[in-house]
Structure 1
Amino acid sequence: MNDDSRLRSWERRTTLPLFVISLLFLTSYAVRVLDSGLSPFWDKFWLVVTGAAWATFVIDYGVRLLLSGRGLRFVPTHPLDAVIVVLPLLRPLRMVQVYNVMKERHEEPVLSLYARVITYASMTALLLGFASSLAVYQAERGAPGASIRTFGDAVWWACSTLTTTGYGDAVPVTPQGRTIAVLLMACGLALLGAVTGSFSSWLLQSFARPNERRPPER
């Protein structure tokens, strides 16, 4: 078995378990951010869960680095994976791999291409918005001059940022918050472009005449 086959085999076996672990990571992180009244025991418990999940992501990246057989050349060819190891809250962006694994278990896709794109974009936006709300709330609460003081403010900010609306009533003031904002704006533009392009293509297909849907004859 060559390096590519071993790497694909590893990814098929670990994608779904890692997705579950990413949800566990998000849950533990959310509990520690939102519940300020945790007892020392539960605070330490959820901290251990968060650290263990993060360590799992690092180990997975290291194993895939070795199985690729390309050494450090693997890093520039998989930039998103490297970013996710540093910022595990961006793990929802790898949901497309979960879909690819599930697709291999069915001969035909359950949803059409347009429905798959919109479903993936919607779920990614939901998870990414929630994760960004937690991160920016943790960075901004208590900061001097902060306009994001509650988790509700953070959710409102994430929604307006993801949709590229940007009302300006809630803005991050800390370096960490502004870094999160830049990443969220980039992801929002990408998701919005994917949904808009898919919807436009569906409209063209729906309103095209039958002879226009056929490919041109050679």
Structure 2
Amino acid sequence: MIQLKLSKRLQQVASLVPNGATLADIGSDHAYLPAYLIEEGRIRFAIAGEVNQGPYETAKRTVEEAGCSERIRVRKGNGLEVLEAGEVNTVTICGMGGGTIVDILSRGKDKLTGVRQLVLQPMVDGDQLRRWLHANGWRIAKEELVVDEGILYEILKAEPGYERYHDDLWYEVGSVELLRHHPLFPDKLKAAIGKIDRVLKSLRKAQGEEALQKQEALVQKKKRLEEVLRLCKPQ
């Protein structure tokens, strides 16, 4: 039997999975997350889904070596097609772009019957994911940030419910209400401000009305981010 050790990123994802959950980990890769949660006694049952043959075989090997074959089913298939409706109450999708996660959730909406938690870790385009969740009957109950090997990752936990953000900026950077006391939120905001500064620098060389409009929109957005940054009070 192997002793599993998760990356900081996956440890943070694991911390958001409820105790006693039945889990589907979509795009499971090595199946480290479900195997770890089974080993820790945190979940009752898991499905590890993989669309590609290589990771599918690797996931099966991890599950066998961890002695978890009776409680983790490794299935080959695209996205949520590895599930039956009502089979699990928690779904994790990690390490993909926000647009890809949206595509998986959209194509498999009928498989989300009975799912009470989505734990999602987009690599980019978190704004697309937040908008999809709000448009499809999910509220964002928790947001987490973690630094792993120098990279800042965001993780969302969503539950069924109605929610809308009245401030568009929240879709991009996350709910200020949820994150304003997070010790890493200022770093995320500073990174967003730095990105705007780099775009502004290149736009200043451009000519024409369109370039000026883009500059003004980015300047206003930068001011908003700076306002939020001043509100942040890590606890």
So what's the TM-score if we normalise by structure 1? 0.25
* Larger RCO (CA within 8 A; separation ≥ 6): 1
Q: Looking at secondary structure, tell me which structure has more strand per residue.
A: 2
More helix by share: 1
